[in-house]
Amino acid sequence: MLELAISAFVTLFVVIDPVGLAPMYGALTREHTEAQRRRMACRGVIVGGLVLLGFALGGEALLNAIGVSLDAFRVAGGILLFVVAFDMVFERRTERRKRQVEAAHAADTQAGAAAMLAAESAFAAPELLEEAFEHEHEDVSVFPLAIPLIAGPGAITSTLLLTTRAGGDWVATLLVLGILALVLASTLGALLIAGRLNRLIGETAAAVISRVLGILLAALAAQFVLDGAAELVVGVIRQGA
């Protein structure tokens, strides 16, 4: 049980990456007020958590419905996590997330500018003015914060792999869900202190931490692949016998 708890915490913490999300969230909400940042951080973590919870509780049934075995999913999920780890070690993941943040911010700016331009028309209606001010500070809690920055493919895969690893034991499953809640709580805390955390850690230290965690995730991904492949081989041998 302790091994599952440690594995779950390391995997989810590395994949969701609260420390890495903090500076990106700060950049994404740099034009919002402090109250708006807090509100969007809470909403984003809740939405992302609900998505991950849905896959944790219903993911196995979904796999059964489409005819995919858990062992095959372990192999595929391990490979996907290894790709995520590879990106972390070589800083590709950070650059991709930055591009997502920049794209979302650009879309927000364009929407706000279009709405303000319409509102400045001589015949602009009051509802257009209200829409302009709403677009000026677009809500980013669902996209891109909740999906895909928090509940991305890696986090969804990790959550499903960990709950299936519990083997139907409700105590072990609740342990994994508790670890998930702990990681999401740490993510919320990191988002709420994004500015101070970024100044405290610094870019160099954050890059070093990301690379070390990436190596750990690569090892866990390799273990997922080995476990799944071993079970698949055993299954084939049993069928042939």
Q: What does the pLDDT look like over 40-65, one tens digit per residue?
A: 999 999 999 999 999 999 988 888 89
Residue 213 belongs to what domain range? 2-111+143-240
Of 179, 163, 150, the residue nearest 56 (C-alpha): 163
Of 216, 225, 214, the residue nearest 78 (C-alpha): 225
| Domain-located, residue 191 | yes
Count of the separate structural domains present in the chain = 1
| Domain-located, residue 116 | no
- Report how far residue 38's alpha carbon sits from residue 182's, in angstroms, rounded to the nearest whole number: 18
For residue range 168-182, what is the model confidence (pLDDT) as tens digits?
789 999 999 999 999
pLDDT, residue 112, reads 54
pLDDT, residue 71, reads 84
| Domain-located, residue 138 | no
pLDDT, residue 227, reads 86
- Report how far residue 107's alpha carbon sits from residue 67's, in angstroms, rounded to the nearest whole number: 39
Of 8-12, 62-66, 105-109, 220-224, minimum mean pLDDT range:
105-109
pLDDT, residue 119, reads 46
Is residue 95's pLDDT more than 70?
no
pLDDT, residue 198, reads 66
| Domain-located, residue 38 | yes
- Evaluate if pTM is beyond 0.95: no
| Domain-located, residue 157 | yes
| Domain-located, residue 177 | yes
Break the chain down into helix, strand, coil percent, rounded to 5. 85, 0, 15
| Domain-located, residue 130 | no
Is residue 197's pLDDT more than 50?
yes
| Domain-located, residue 121 | no
